[in-house]
Amino acid sequence: MKIQIEDKEFDLMLEYDQIKKRTRLLGIQLNVDYEDKVPVFIGVLNGSFLFMADLIKEIDISCELAFVKVSSYHGNDTSSGIVRELIGLDIDLKNRDVIIVEDIVDTGLTLIHILDTLKKLEPASINVCSLLLKPGSLQEDIEEITYVGFEIPNEFVVGYGLDYKGLGRNLKDIYRASTSPSET
């Protein structure tokens, strides 16, 4: 199935049923790993909002939720490499177990910025739960990436919270940018 957003065409990559099943498994693992703790889940806006909502429905343990908003894409389909913090955190994380919830880890620059910022707040632990991971795009290893829904190739994706020029976040499935014969 193909869709069109602005000037780009996209092909179906992951159906919502696959995402739901994997999210359920991630939730089960988090419930086990944090059984005797009260973690703080920190969603990275805007992209993580659908994944965070579905993931938190699978969490049975006591927990708190918070959000931060950072950006390095600025409406394009490639990272600018410049991370700007747009909305800060308003919860005390000292000696707390923190789980950062990401929609996608691409170059890792945004995540490194978030981790560096949160480590200054002296949490007991920090782990990352990301729906998507592009191992081929990571600019350095990030040991805190503990929970991953799907590893994907270095392709531009949209849907299920991920956008292209602000559009497509509302799609329930995830799509990859189509390549024309001249791009291969």
| Pairing label, strands 97-105, 125-133 | parallel
The answer to whether the CB of 155 falls within 8 A of the CB of 137 is no
Query: One-letter amino acid identity for 116?
Result: D
Local structure of 27: helix, strand or coil? helix
**Which residue out of 106, 116, 141, 163 is catalytically annotated?**
106
The H-assigned helical ranges of the chain are 16-33, 49-56, 109-119
CA distances from 38 to 59, 63, 87 (A): 11, 5, 24
DSSP 50: H
Residue 106 known to be catalytic: yes
The answer to whether the CB of 161 falls within 8 A of the CB of 132 is no
Neighbours of 31 (CB within 10 A): 14
Residues designated as active site: 106
